Chains A and B, each alone.
Chain A
Amino acid sequence: MHWIDYASPHSVREAVDLLNEAGGSARPMAGGTDVLVQLRANALPDVNLLVDMKNIPELNEMTMDPEVGLTLGAAVPCYKIYGNKAIEHAFPGLIDCASLIGGTQIQGRASLGGNLCNAAPSGDSIPVMIALGGVARISGPSGDREVPLEDFCTGVRRTVIQQGEILVSLHFPAPVANQGANYMRFIPRNEMDIAVAGVGCSVVLDNGNIKSARVALSSVAPTPLYVKEIGDAIAGKPANEETLKLAGQMAKDAAKPITDMRGTIEYRKHLCDVLTRRSLQIAIDRAKES
């Protein structure tokens, strides 16, 4: 491993300047649970400066407003998310993913912002954040902008973040009545494993019918995959087994997985069907309880 410099800016502006000046040789670091591993594996040979995100106030924000929704700083570690009662109550879907990334040690450092910016096809937080209608707030040399999360990842480990930009926070609209969400992944072991397929979903119910739904998949395409058609097709339908079957079949059809050591194309497509049905059922149950 080569020499790496480290900088710890205390404002968004300072961070953006540092990254902008360094050009391609600097990388933001939140928890470091992806970037440090990649550096040690020589996967980032050109990087020689890490810019710490953890000391910037905006990136550590965690505000829950019943009207505006949730603003989650990009560097907030998982344990703070699942330790927060307001989030636990309003966004059980976020708790699902924050509490299954890595183990206790990893959750002490790892952030959902880092999970998103790392843009792995298997990133466990991304599908449910898409399903919840999340928006990324980005700051850069030429100002601030917002990007819906379904448009954030553009390829394997590639995102809309440009040179000098940082992800400041994630924003989620306040949940409405009778809304429920869930993230579910399939792993061969019970812990410390990488998703063979994953499904994040959010539903709003109306008198036993599905009023609206959003479903996104992980590990079955180069990017997390938002399958808008599922929501379109099941909106207005009763929240029953037949509807879940339809959703499962559509997820299976939408998935574009590869065969690798973690699973075959056929098996992963099959999992999309099974997981979509199971995950939607949990989201529906949660919506009923909410």
Chain B
Amino acid sequence: MTTTDYERNIVLSNVEYNVVGTRPVRPDGADKVTGRALYGADFDTSGLLHGKVLRSPHAHARIRSIDTSKAEALQGVLAVVTGKDMPHEADESDGTKYSRDNILASDKVLYKGHAVAAVAATNPHVAEEAIGLIEVDYEVLKPVLTAPEAMKDSAPILHEGLKTEELGEKTDKVSNIANHFQHVKGDIAKGFADADVVVEREYNTVTVHQGYIEPHGATALWNTDGRLHIWCSTQGAFTARDATAGILGVPVSQVRVTPMEIGGGFGGKIPVYVEPIAALLSKKSGHAVKVVMSRAEVFESTGPTSGSNIRIKVGAKNDGTITALQGYLAFEAGGYPGSPVNAGAICIFAAYDVDNVLIDGYDVVVNKPKSAPYRAPGAPNAAFACEQAIDELAGKLGMDPIDLRLKNAAVEGTRRPDGPAFPRIGCVEVLEAMKNHPHYSAPLGPNQGRGVAIGYWFNIGFQSSVNINVNSDGTISLIEGSTDIGGTRASISMQAAEVLGIPMEDVRPSVVDTDSIGFTAVTGGSRTTFATGWAAYEAAQDVARQMIERAATIWDVDKDGIELKNGVFQSKADPELKMTFKELSGQLLDTGGTVVGRASMNAGGLGAGGGSFAGNIVDVEVDPDTGKTLVTRMTAIQDAGKAIHPSYVEGQMQGGSVQGIGWALNEEYYMRDDGSMANTSLLDYRMPTSLDIPMIDTVIVEVASAEHPYGVRGVGEANIVPPTPAIANAVHSAIGIRMANLPINSVAIMEAKWKQQGN
């Protein structure tokens, strides 16, 4: 393990702040390290029942009938539900049917682990015994497991009603291809005609899981007054509420979601799974019902990210000018349409300013769990392909791979192939930081190789709400709706503290339920510090405005003559007239009442803030006899716009890097031919342990976003994009072989070596 000193972060914004950019202790820290924080499975209430789910043993089958009578008769069982308990209306849309069927199958099971029935009983053991008594009659069908196989005309069809959408038009063709779209820029034929050098290659990535340590868990109480209350571990209380209400066919006002602490999500806790099931069981039994998944259920029944088949063709002039970029992306959606192929297509060539681009994307259903978002969904798959092709091109041109990227790098004004032009971005600055980093020129040992790659994630804005109550002791209570996965209580509080000129420790943040704050979108898309932080900024401005008015009343001066600076209200005209934030807070109740600030705002759509670029420099060492690959040194470099709390930015960068290492080297859904996953435990689904990773050095680049008041760019995701290609490029540099398929495990490396040696 190498432990290198941190390189200095590269601060390109010149504004000085008091709180923003410091590293205070997080408000939720004490509860979490002492084990007092309450997570999804920790909720308890009187009369609580325990639910278990019966899951399909087949990857593809038609359900002929389900007999629940024996389970219902078992002592201790209070409710049994199946797909029949879902409200399938006569005019149900395909999308609604899909989302209900994914919770409890009605007519077909589309992956092993697909839920078909559930039981609530007085304890989990009885519930488990009861699901064993449910008899399901299946007509077993042939499964299809990869996009290239599922796209064949001869493939088994998952949905008889699924008609391919072709370039925006619905067709009559029934197939597993839900959608084919294109992004076109310039003239691709001309681009290749202008090229002196062309690289063309096909890449495959396999299904991988987010691997959050806390399994899904929810408790539901469907009360006799018709109101449904859910306590769950989710990335978004409001999205969980809206999804559950839609699935159950009830108004959102009937559902209240209280988010518990969350033990990781990475996108995988955006969809609901056990919430509607617990609700149906509660409705039938009249009790609160808790359903908690096992690790195997998490693997087999929640959304991993797509496996994909990607082809890249890139052409360049001898001087390194890229003239054409062509990409073909076919993504496995899982059992129902909706892979992240669109996001992959947005990101695949985003780092390059190239005139002629053609991208074809295919969303393909296969007999695997329905895919769910996973940190920069689709972008790591895309980068694995693109960034290896660019590396190969650099080799052919005899150019330094970072120089080749710098020569073609996207800048402000560059139009992305999917349409929008970039606002201010940090692609060049990240590449320059990589090139200048001492890691890039450090000597390598025997059997070692070095690789680089860059990646992009567009980030999202969306809706966020924050309320601030000013307390009489000069502290503020900050009420927000973003569940805290990565330290956002701190990063949001810091932005409010900065506005009001108070220490971050004087902010008491609370993440509250859906009845207690305005709509707030998910903690995802790298949006929370950006959007909810922005809402906190606006709510704090609201507080400042009201308190200035109050000071004006107290001093009997015009409010425009008062300013708030470094936590002190003062008259611009009379230097004697001043009050600290704390002093004024203490007078509020006697001078007209307490102050409540609020903000509810839309922080933009896709690409909010311009998104974030991240780069990696990676060294690997490959055992020549066994093929075992160790990452010996890794440097992560990312544009954060402005790092509100640098430690948490570094944590995000290191976390994304670690997940990238796992994805690159070992993680995979190892599928048997019958469509079952062989490795449904963390023993055989090999995420890296602390002993498998080096100290990951970080460099935060700060190219302030033009949109956010402090210049923030979300940093949660872009960091997982470059590791897989950077590692593949490093392996190529170590052994001289292109590893075009993931995972690059020791067996794959030895097989590639044997193939090259011709035996």
Contacts and interface: CB of A to CB of B under 8 A. Distances in A.
Given A271-B626, A274-B625, A193 B683 contact: yes
A246 interface: no
Interface string B26-40: 000000000000000
A264 B670 CA distance: 13
A191 B689 contact: yes
A190 B751 contact: no
Interface stretch (A52-60, A138-146, A255-263): A255-263
B666 A189 contact: yes
Given A1-B128, A189-B689, A190-B692, 18 more contacts: A2-B125, A2-B129, A186-B626, A188-B666, A188-B686, A188-B746, A189-B692, A190-B691, A191-B689, A191-B691, A193-B686, A194-B684, A261-B678, A266-B754, A267-B746, A267-B747, A267-B750, A267-B751
17 contacts: A1-B125, A2-B125, A186-B626, A188-B665, A188-B686, A188-B745, A189-B686, A190-B630, A192-B683, A193-B683, A194-B684, A260-B678, A261-B684, A264-B747, A267-B751, A270-B750, A274-B625
A267 B748 CA distance: 9
B125 A186 contact: no
Interface of A: 1-2, 186, 188-194, 260-264, 266-267, 270-271, 274
Interface residues of B, number: 25
B679 interface: yes
A262 to B, nearest CB: 7
B646 interface: no
Contacts of B751: 264, 266-267
B628 A186 contact: yes
Interface in B627-680: 628, 630, 665-666, 670, 678-679
B21 interface: no
Contacts of B670: 261
A220 to B, nearest CB: 14
Contacts of A194: 683-684
A139 B128 CA distance: 38
B689 A274 contact: no
A260 B679 CA distance: 10
Question: Top 4 closest A-B pairs, CB basis?
Answer: A261-B670, A190-B691, A261-B678, A274-B625
Contacts of B691: 189-191
A168 to B, nearest CB: 30
Interface of B: 125, 128-129, 625-626, 628, 630, 665-666, 670, 678-679, 683-684, 686, 688-689, 691-692, 745-747, 750-751, 754
Nearest to A268: B747
A192 B689 CA distance: 8
Contacts of A260: 678
Contacts of B625: 274
B679 A190 contact: no
Contacts of A2: 125, 129
Nearest to A277: B625
Q: Which of A2, A188, A193, A274 has the most CB of B within 10 A?
A: A188
A189 B691 CA distance: 8
Contacts of A266: 751, 754
B243 to A, nearest CB: 32
Contacts of B684: 194, 261-262
A205 B72 CA distance: 70
Contacts of B683: 192-194
A274 B626 contact: yes
Nearest to A259: B747
A190 to B, nearest CB: 4
Contacts of A262: 684
A266 B750 CA distance: 10
B305 to A, nearest CB: 19
Nearest to B693: A190
Contacts of B630: 190
Nearest to B669: A261
B625 to A, nearest CB: 5
A2 to B, nearest CB: 7
Contacts of B746: 186, 188, 267
Contacts of B689: 189-192
Nearest to B750: A267
Contacts of A1: 125, 128
A189 B129 CA distance: 36
A127 B107 CA distance: 51
A275 to B, nearest CB: 8
A91 B754 CA distance: 38
Nearest to B684: A261
A288 B125 CA distance: 57
A212 B653 CA distance: 54
Contacts of A193: 683, 686
B439 to A, nearest CB: 22
B678 A263 contact: no
B679 A261 contact: yes
Contacts of B666: 188-189
Nearest to A194: B683
A103 to B, nearest CB: 9
A100 B666 CA distance: 21
A186 B745 CA distance: 13
Given A189-B692, A194-B683, A263 B747 contact: yes
A271 B625 CA distance: 8
A67 B437 CA distance: 62
A269 B754 CA distance: 14
Contacts of A189: 666, 686, 688-689, 691-692
